[in-house]
Amino acid sequence: MASPDRYLAKLRGTLLSVFHIKPAASPGAPASGTWYKGDIYTDSAGVVWHCTTSGTPGTWAQFSDSTEADDYAGKMLFVDSVYGNDSTGARERPDKPFLTVAAALSAAQSGDQVFIRPGTYSLAAGITIPSGVSIRGSDAKNVLLQMLAVTAATTLVTMGESSRLEDVSLKLTSAGHYTLTGLLWPGTTSATAKWRTSTLTMDNSGAGAGTSNVTGVLVQSTGAPASEVFSARACSVTVLSAGDGNKRALLMNTSAGIFRARDVVLRCSGGTSAIGAEINIAGGLLDFRTGATDGSTADISQTAGTLSIESVTLYNATANGLPFMLRHSGAPVVFGQSGSIGNNEYIVPGYNVKTSLEVFQRLPRNGILKSLTARARVASGAGKSVTYTLRKNGVPTAMVVTLADTTTSNQDTTHSVAVAAGDDISVIATVSGGSAEDVVVTMEYY
């Protein structure tokens, strides 16, 4: 079968921008006839030749495609949902895009960028970004990578060392209960990989009764980035689920590394345990700055390790009843006691007095009280103690601190208490044997 007619575009020094060249009857460069430098010839296979030296038949070189500089892009690969072709896709060729992200990643080398043109890309399987490779979409609004209605445990994207993912939207859904992970950070990627200006949506809210763990961002990395290095920035994560199991927008567990997020918005709802951000690994640090988190069970949870926040909006003002760290201290709430105190007496907000009457301090906004601390000038003495309990609306809370024996300062590092605007708080003392003297009780109000 004869090769179809060929067209060459962007030829210089012509009146027309496109020439129509009819293929010859045989393959290869011309073997006879007199030709001149610059002549163009198409053989039966569709290969285009150009004459480099005049003669009979002259000297010929082939170019199947344009060789102009703007047809190349160093260290880049392109993915196109309309014109892409995985069979002809080529590295460093904008005119030869791939059809699938997976094919482009297979061809990518360390230091390359895979650029994704606008479109919706349904992945056949989860992807792993190779070490040193970055993925960038044209913009998060118009580039969607998705896996819909999966029927098995699935991880949508796994970050590689020194990889980068930006300007894309990600989506993973299921109608059943399976372990679902949107973005996994293994190895030391929390220190080397970056996620920027993207969105992630996880949804198995229609699964009904059953058990599944659904996690938007799962950090299992031992990486320890410097304080100014953020693994995730300017991204949003939404997890919509149902049933039992752990539902988390951001979870750090398994590996005691450091993960830093900035300008990130988290939302997690549905099911019996839905938390916006949780750390559950001793020795790990989850550093969350300037953002927001909304969890229908708790906004944050420092289950194990350290959760540090700064300028983060807690939509429901809930911390799962657990403490957390503030990079900058919250507003102090102060109660004072001058001299010793009797059993079941109250210390008064902001004053160095005590009374048998419960005196309240009314709170003006939703928030969290944490880090109940007592500091005395004189200890209770051997075999004696005084215990201070925070009460909310006349009911004791779990926040308790005790000064026993020769101890003059102590802090509750285990609990926090969620409060709402208009709640009344007070502090009651329980004395055993004798109380410490001149005590100041404080807590942080975030």
Question: Could you give the maximum distance between any two Cα atoms of the chain, in Å?
Answer: 118
pLDDT digits (tens, 9 = 90+) for 24-56: 888 888 999 999 988 888 888 778 888 889 999
Distance CA 130, CA 232 (A): 18
59-68 long-range Cβ contacts below 8 angstroms, 24+ apart: 60/29, 60/30, 60/35, 62/29, 65/95, 66/8, 66/9, 66/10, 66/95, 68/10
pLDDT digits (tens, 9 = 90+) for 153-212: 999 999 999 999 999 999 999 999 999 999 999 999 999 999 999 999 999 999 999 999
Residues near 167 by beta carbon (within 8 Å), at least 6 away in sequence? 136, 137, 138, 139, 140, 143, 196, 197, 198
Distance CA 187, CA 254 (A): 11
Write a three-state SS string for 85-127: CCCCCCCCCCCCCECCHHHHHHHCCCCCEEEECCEEEECCCCE
pLDDT of 140 over the 80 cut? yes
pLDDT digits (tens, 9 = 90+) for 239-279: 999 999 999 999 999 999 999 999 999 999 999 999 999 99
Q: pLDDT grade, residue 91 (50/70/90)?
A: very high
DSSP 8-state class, residue 129: P
pLDDT of 404 over the 90 cut? yes
Q: How many CB atoms lie within 10 A of CB 231?
A: 27
Class (C level, CATH) for 331-445: mainly beta
Distance CA 274, CA 297 (A): 5
| Omega before 4 within 30 of 0, i.e. cis | no
Query: Which residue is associated with the tokens 């949804």?
Result: 203
Query: Which residue is associated with the tokens 């199947």?
Result: 64
Distance CA 208, CA 369 (A): 35
| C-alpha to C-alpha distances, 418 to 62, 320, 370, 437, nearest whole angstrom | 75, 9, 9, 30
What is the DSSP annotation of 146-160?
EE-S--S-EEEEEPP
**How much is the pLDDT for 50?**
83
Six token digits for residue 302:
């420092």
Of residues 132 and 325, more confidently modeled: 132
Domain ranges of the chain: 6-62, 148-326, 331-445
Of residues 154 and 22, more confidently modeled: 154
**How much is the pLDDT for 15?**
45
pLDDT of 422 over the 80 cut? yes
**How much is the pLDDT for 1?**
36
Q: Kindly give the pairing relationship between strand 258-262 and strand 331-337.
A: unpaired
**How much is the pLDDT for 70?**
55
Q: With contact defined as beta carbons under 8 Å apart, do 370 and 443 qualify? A: yes
Distance CA 236, CA 198 (A): 7
